[in-house]
Amino acid sequence: MFELLKNPFWNEEQPGALQSTGWYQAWTAAASPKAVRAKQVGDIVAAVNFARDNDVKLVVKGTGHDYLGRSNAADSLLVWTHDMREITMHDAFVPQGAPAGTPGVHAMTVEAGTRWLEAYRAATAAGRFVAGGGCTSVGACGGFTFGSGFGPFSKRYGTGSGGIVQAEIVTADGRVRTVNRFSEPDLFFGVRGGGGGTFGIVSRVTLLTHPIPSTVGIVTGSIKAASDAGYRELIERFVEFYPAALDNWHWGESVAFGPENDFGFRLTFLDLPESEGRAVIGQFTDQFRGRSEYTVDPKFRFLDFKDLWNPDYWDRVDPDFVTRDPRPDAPDYQFWWTGNQGELGAFWGGYQSRWIATELMRGDPKKIAGAFFEASRLRPFIFQVNKGLSGEHPEARERDEQTALHPGCFEAAALVIMAAAQQYGYPGVPGREPNEQRARDQADALNRAMELIKEVTPGAGTYSTESDFFLEDWQRNQWGSNYPRLLSVKRTYDPGTLFRVHHGVGSEL
């Protein structure tokens, strides 16, 4: 059983299983005593009507990736959408209710249980790309997409929320509504970034698709400094380098900082010649080569984009980069990135994020670098390039600015993410329970480290699906000036707050 719990796809096939097991002093995974195994939208309608009429708490789970425990609750009725995984490709999709003559767009419709791996495979087979998440087992029609949805290539193609063309949603009154920019536009605004499980249960969503990119480069490896002084210099040089060289739509993913004085590359570059990608990184790394203080070891891989989600390709070139689903009855294409294994079975000591404005990096790089260095003494963290949109492609930015995303993300170079967990810690299971003192120590170090980041980023927001469970002023921090409109939508479509999730829109009512 415990070996199966290490498999994200097996977890998703169990109505009561989640990817995380809890959060210190916040929540603990709890299975609902009853579940509706939804196979069609009518099943969702029946569940919503029953819960409303009988005053039963309702929770929704597609894949169960939520860090904040919003897809589980004791004494609740679970709507489990795992079986709803139909995908339809469109060459000329026109939203319902659009005026005559509205041009159609390339799009794909996915049902509520679809995972990104399945969406990517369908899009690739059609010569298209859909802007989604990096983790293959995350849902394409759930909290990721409706809670902003930053993926590896968001700077080029925009967020999951920005890509929504139309959604079918069951609201608290049991009605099935089709929402888009022509039909119930206020609810459409709420769905596009206002958070999952908040305004209703989305049964299907139609997402914009794009011509598939030709190539993608991947940069891994690291630079290691032999001393704290050397590491501080390394961070300063990066903070100076980043806004001019990497804050554009070609680049994605992250770099990592930590107490061992390692600077880790986890970057991607899209539709750039390999030589150009190497040259850009070389502008940064070359200033440390030949200096005994530093070990400089970036690694590059360059591939056809269509192979990115192809496990057969990875088996040939780097089999350790991916983990195939080992079960004999699993689809042969089913895999997850080995680097994502650490999130599975995680009992969180904490998880926080903070946007870093590009102008702060340009205006006072030493101040930002100093905060990064001091924070790295306490906890490792990543600087997530694709989750700040200041260098976003203009076409994608136009779409994203119509959503409920926190306005601060458009001025942000990146998102700092800091997390701490005990893996395979299962509360209440003898011999496998997480260590309380360790969780307390993790939470304390993380809070102190993130406070250093907050001090130099006044007024910055946080990514709502990767935010602190104990976040203060969560309305402003997660949605900024968009919150009043979102709250108005909530009051209109769910006046009784049937749909209530932690720090979700209207949860304070």
For the entire predicted model, the pTM comes to 0.97
Model confidence over 237-277: pLDDT tens digits? 999 999 999 999 999 999 999 999 999 999 999 989 999 99
- Which pLDDT value is given to residue 1? 76
Contact (Cβ atoms closer than 8 angstroms) between residue 51 and residue 201 = no
Residues linked to residue 77 through DSSP beta bridges, in sequence order: 34, 58
Q: Nearest Cα to 381, choosing from 291, 445, 285?
A: 445
Q: What separation in angstroms does the CA of 438 have from each of 107, 363, 420, 509?
A: 47, 38, 10, 35
- Going by pLDDT thresholds of 50, 70 and 90, the confidence category of residue 2 is confident
- Which pLDDT value is given to residue 228? 98
Model confidence over 228-244: pLDDT tens digits? 999 999 999 999 999 99
- Which pLDDT value is given to residue 184? 98
Element (H, E) at 149: none
Q: What are phi and psi of 161, to 5 degrees?
A: -65, -40
**Who contacts 145 (Cβ-Cβ below 8 Å, separation ≥6)?**
132, 139, 160, 161, 163, 164, 196, 205, 207
Model confidence over 135-170: pLDDT tens digits? 999 999 999 999 999 999 999 999 999 999 999 999
Q: What is the DSSP letter of 227?
A: S
**Who contacts 106 (Cβ-Cβ below 8 Å, separation ≥6)?**
90, 91, 92, 93, 128, 208, 209, 210
pLDDT, mean of residues 338-346: 95
Q: Nearest Cα to 203, choosing from 111, 116, 82?
A: 111
Model confidence over 183-213: pLDDT tens digits? 999 999 999 999 999 999 999 999 999 999 9
Model confidence over 38-96: pLDDT tens digits? 999 999 999 999 999 999 999 999 999 999 999 999 999 999 999 999 999 999 999 99
| Domains of the chain listed by start with CATH number | 4-80 (3.30.43.10), 87-212+485-493 (3.30.465.10)
**Who contacts 448 (Cβ-Cβ below 8 Å, separation ≥6)?**
378
Q: Nearest Cα to 238, choosing from 294, 169, 179, 322?
A: 294
Element (H, E) at 178: strand 176-179
Contact (Cβ atoms closer than 8 angstroms) between residue 487 and residue 474 = no
Model confidence over 353-402: pLDDT tens digits? 999 999 999 999 999 999 999 999 999 999 999 999 999 999 999 999 99
- Which pLDDT value is given to residue 461? 96
pLDDT, mean of residues 24-47: 98
d(CA 417, CA 354): 7
Q: Residue 130: count other Cβ atoms within 10 Å of its Cβ.
A: 26
Output the 3-class SS for 431-483: CCCCCHHHHHHHHHHHHHHHHHHHHCCCCCCCCHHHCCCCCCCHHHHHHHHHH
Contact (Cβ atoms closer than 8 angstroms) between residue 478 and residue 406 = yes
